[in-house]
Amino acid sequence: MDKIAVLIPCYNEEKTIAKVVADTKKALPEAVVYVYDNNSTDRTVELAAAAGAVVRHEYMQGKGNVIRRMFREIDAQCYVMVDGDDTYPMEYAPEMVEKVLEHHADMVVGDRLSSTYFTENKRPFHNLGNSLVRGTINRLFGCKIKDIMTGFRAFSYGFVKTFPVLSKGFEIETEMTIHAVFNNMQIENVIVDYRDRPEGSQSKLNTYSDGMRVLGTIGRLYKDYKPFGFFSLLALILAVIATVFFIPILVAFIRTGVVDKFPTLFVCCFVMLAAVQAFFSGMILSNMALKNRRDFEFRLNMIQGKIKNDDVD
């Protein structure tokens, strides 16, 4: 098991990867630097190897797939994950590592949004999107995470080995955050400077399609982790719809004693039944989520025991 492993997912980053590896080795000389290439068509692999990184490959396209491969293959006491685009200064990495190794943090967030992100980033819709995602998750999950979608993070062994990677693309950062919040894992924050990509380096993000995928991921994870809240909201919406269409029928019946819109009445009844069903489904799934939470704590305790046994050996 490595003490510190630096994980760099890469796709066509020949302009910056050598500098990122060199800066990493300077900031964390005791760390092993892994570059995971995701089907690059430029000189990323060649330059990363020449800079001294251990180069490995993930052939399924997508950042989520790369992270799944990294987390499966690497064993370390502390993991630092950073993008290969040279937008994050690596001098903040030692502080993040210290919070994992000395303060027992499970995830350390490299917070761009509290420093230079909004002035350095030249894409206004990305700025809006980051603020929207941060506000949505903090409200839905009752947390105060400063930067949801940062690509600069540090993790404990326990987090990495219990994190179920379900996303395939850039929405993976959102999934990491919600996993840590829901399972009451220790999250620390380190404010880091952000710098825009250097000239000639192209972003792989699509503002609109990736933004919709992130919002879809938030909805899916809210349903999975907070089923009672999700299905109660669905039940409320269905009940309101049924009530709105039922009131005119009731008023007409009181005035005339005749129901003249039987099809609408039947639909209202079925929609109200669906609302009741959604509410009770939320209650059942909430109990299942609580059981999953208990099972997670059991698995985490087993993993922590494995780390202690390895230290003794």
Q: Which pairs from 298-305 meet CB under 8 Å and 24+ separation?
A: 299/162, 300/158, 300/162, 300/183, 303/157, 303/158, 303/161, 303/162, 304/158
Check residue 57 and report its DSSP letter.
E
Cβ contacts of 41 within 8 Å, gap of 6 or more: 12
Q: Which of 302 and 158 is assigned the larger pLDDT? A: 158
**Run of H or E residues at 44:** helix 44-50
Q: What is the structure's pLDDT at 310?
A: 63
pLDDT exceeding 90 applies to what percent of the chain? 64
Could you tell me the pTM of the whole model?
Answer: 0.82
Q: What is the pLDDT of residues 240-288, one digit of tens each?
A: 999 999 999 999 988 988 888 889 999 999 999 999 999 999 999 999 9
> Torsions phi, psi of 58, nearest 5?
-130, 120
Place of tokens 């025991």: 305
Do strands 2-10 and 32-37 pair parallel, antiparallel, or not at all (unpaired)?
parallel
